[in-house]
Amino acid sequence: MNKLRIAASGALLWSIAADAEVVRLEIRSQHDWAPGYVSQAGAYESIAGTVWYEIDPNAPDARDITDIRLAPRNARGKVEYHGPFLVLRPKDTTRANGTTLFEVANRGTDQSNRILFQVSGFRLTNPDAAKDVAHAPLFDRGYTFAWAGWQSDLDEKAFGLTVPRAVVNGTVRSAEFLGVEGSPRDSGSARVGGSCAADASESTAVLRIHHRFDDPGVVVPRARWHFASRDKDGKSQVDPCAFLLNTPVEGSALVTITYRGDQPQVAGLGLAAVRDVASYLRTHDLAGRVPARTVIGYGYSQSGRFLRDFLYRGFNRSSDGKRAFDGVLDTASGAGRGSFDHRYASPGEAGNSVGSALRTSCPNAVSSRPQWCAELQASTPTRHAGSDVKNDKRSRRRTSFARITRPCTSTAWMKNTCLARSRPTVVTDDKSMGNLLMDGAPVRDRFDNDHSFAAGSPESTANQSAVHTISLTRTRLHKMEVSL
């Protein structure tokens, strides 16, 4: 049963049973949204605050979160983390349609605005600035919209997620372009995700300069570069998150550094956060309102890749064995996945061919730079610390499967047994990535009738998804809800 408490600050606190993943939801603001706007479902209100999570590192639904068993625990033996949330919903309960559209934020921003609706000034970090709502048929139909921070390499002020760091170190590779579009030719960032070098004086760190993308690189002697940055007066200072070259590069170049990283963030908790908030919205009331009957996940570009990885790793099954999302709308995400759940993950990095070649490590993909992968794997244990042998074998089988199959939205992938008990309805707008699935039935002809795709490779065809019309996306969402 939910219990309402009032904090000293006046914020409302909704707490639930201690064994749940969402242990507390703190409402910091609740008021009319976009004052003066009234949809056919009436006025809307915004509810914003903080979600507090706990997870048992030994529970079955936590076993695939990298380094979870190496994270600090509270007195109950649980791992804690927290982040922001935002909900937009009709003020009149009777006019809501019972469906919540949960959008996965894209690097701390929403992209449903201008795709599913148009609102001037709206930001996840400042929803109160919204005005001039237009082209909003989903508001007229009474949809509820929800967001929650999931990205560990963003702070909460940027709508990120605060996660603990695992008590472990490992080898990591950073990549930085110099002399490009006015960037410095002798300095740059060495940060990977939320991590930097464990020791700025590390003698075994290796820096390479690459002048072509297929260039294996030239190793710069350690005495000719440093983990350092310049202060406001231009003086060099030790900085484990940056590097300085004694001699600037000529023209433009790519600089990669392989070094021993400091304690990594448990980035995979972002996947758990999305799962648990979606499940919470379905099973618990929010400030006196009935739970959602249907929850649909929506992701555009990077957020679509996140949802693809979310499904692949089995996170759509909540701790009670039920589905988190009834449906997933994956828009303009291309063929890649992402860097979401491994040691030194970079969840904000793109999952395209270029980004994958610069990845900090080599999970779930065949890299075009095998010598870099070999270097990392030679100095990093294959087995994730904190996992047992059985689960590690399972993880390797999934990695192998990802290397030889089509992306997760293909029909063949959807038949994989890892989704047998948690498979949602999935809609993808990339024709080359497989059939559109509704109720498990392929309806490819709907693509042919709705949109003409340019001929070309899967990669070039996937890029065409960026120009899909707003009306087409809205239509697919409505058809998905009807099918559910």
Q: What is the pLDDT of residues 186-227, one digit of tens each?
A: 999 999 888 999 999 999 999 999 988 778 899 999 999 999
Residue 440 has pLDDT above 50, yes or no: no
User: pLDDT: is 481 or 420 the higher one?
Assistant: 481
82 and 225 co-located in one domain = no
In a domain, 363, yes or no: no
Q: What is the pLDDT of residue 100?
A: 93
**Which residue, chain included where needed, has tokens 């995700």?**
193
Rounded Cα–Cα distance for residues 69 and 242 (Å): 30
pLDDT in tens, 261-283: 999 999 999 999 999 999 999 88
Q: What is the pLDDT of residue 219?
A: 96
Sign of the CA dihedral 461, 432, 346, 306? positive
Residue 377 has pLDDT above 50, yes or no: no
User: pLDDT: is 359 or 332 the higher one?
Assistant: 332
In a domain, 186, yes or no: yes
Question: 89: number of CA atoms within 13 Å, CB side?
Answer: 28
In a domain, 382, yes or no: no
Range scoring the smallest mean pLDDT among 17-21, 42-46, 124-128, 323-327:
17-21
Residue 297 has pLDDT above 60, yes or no: yes
pLDDT in tens, 328-353: 888 888 777 788 998 999 898 876 54
SS3 of residue 133 by DSSP = strand
User: Are the C-beta atoms of 105 and 149 separated by less than 8 Å?
Assistant: yes
84 and 110 co-located in one domain = yes
Range scoring the smallest mean pLDDT among 8-22, 91-105, 118-132:
8-22
Give the phi and the psi of residue 246 in degrees, each rounded to 5.
-65, -35
Q: Sorting pLDDT into bands at 50, 70 and 90, what band is 60? A: confident
Residue 253 has pLDDT above 70, yes or no: yes
In a domain, 40, yes or no: yes
Decide which of 197, 227, 261 is a domain's last residue: 261
Decide which of 221, 240, 261 is a domain's last residue: 261
User: pLDDT: is 140 or 358 the higher one?
Assistant: 140
Q: Rounded mean pLDDT of 293-300?
A: 91
Residue 245 has pLDDT above 90, yes or no: yes
Token reading at 429: 């707008």
231 and 108 co-located in one domain = no
Q: Which residues of 208-218 are buried (b: 16+ CB within 10 A; e: fewer)?
A: bbbeeeeeebe
What's the angle, vertex CA 54, arms to CA 48 and CA 58, rounded to 5? 155
Residue 68 has pLDDT above 50, yes or no: yes
Range scoring the smallest mean pLDDT among 67-76, 142-151, 429-438:
429-438
pLDDT in tens, 80-124: 999 999 999 999 988 999 999 999 999 999 999 888 888 999 999
199 and 99 co-located in one domain = no
Q: What is the pLDDT of residue 289?
A: 67
User: pLDDT: is 75 or 392 the higher one?
Assistant: 75
87 and 222 co-located in one domain = no
In a domain, 359, yes or no: no
Q: What is the pLDDT of residue 417?
A: 28
Decide which of 261, 290, 305 is a domain's last residue: 261
User: Are the C-beta atoms of 234 and 291 separated by less than 8 Å?
Assistant: no
In a domain, 7, yes or no: no
User: pLDDT: is 360 or 114 the higher one?
Assistant: 114
Q: What is the pLDDT of residue 480?
A: 61
CATH number, domain containing residue 294: 3.40.50
128 and 254 co-located in one domain = no
Residue 127 has pLDDT above 70, yes or no: yes
Q: What is the pLDDT of residue 477?
A: 64
Q: If you average pLDDT over every residue of the chain, what do you get?
A: 74
User: Are the C-beta atoms of 428 and 335 separated by less than 8 Å?
Assistant: no
| Greatest mean pLDDT among 66-75, 136-145, 281-290 | 66-75
**Which residue, chain included where needed, has tokens 């009436």?**
42
Q: Rounded mean pLDDT of 31-60?
A: 93
Rounded Cα–Cα distance for residues 45 and 76 (Å): 36
**Which residue, chain included where needed, has tokens 């921003």?**
109
User: pLDDT: is 72 or 480 the higher one?
Assistant: 72
49 and 153 co-located in one domain = yes
Domain with 286 in it: 17-164+266-343+388-484
Residue 246 has pLDDT above 90, yes or no: yes
Q: What is the pLDDT of residue 77?
A: 95
47 and 116 co-located in one domain = yes
Rounded Cα–Cα distance for residues 130 and 114 (Å): 13
In a domain, 4, yes or no: no
Range scoring the smallest mean pLDDT among 38-42, 156-160, 452-456:
452-456
242 and 272 co-located in one domain = no
Q: Sorting pLDDT into bands at 50, 70 and 90, what band is 6? A: very low
Q: What is the pLDDT of residue 242?
A: 97
In a domain, 48, yes or no: yes
463 and 437 co-located in one domain = yes
Q: What is the pLDDT of residue 478?
A: 61
233 and 279 co-located in one domain = no
Number of domains in the chain: 2
Rounded Cα–Cα distance for residues 209 and 422 (Å): 46
159 and 175 co-located in one domain = no
Residue 439 has pLDDT above 50, yes or no: no
Residue 423 has pLDDT above 60, yes or no: no
Residue 419 has pLDDT above 60, yes or no: no
Range scoring the smallest mean pLDDT among 22-26, 45-49, 158-162, 476-480:
476-480
Residue 481 has pLDDT above 70, yes or no: no
Q: pTM of the full predicted structure?
A: 0.76
Q: Rounded mean pLDDT of 469-484?
A: 57
Q: Which of 66, 99, 65, 104 is nearest to 277 (CA)?
A: 104
Q: Sorting pLDDT into bands at 50, 70 and 90, what band is 19? A: very low
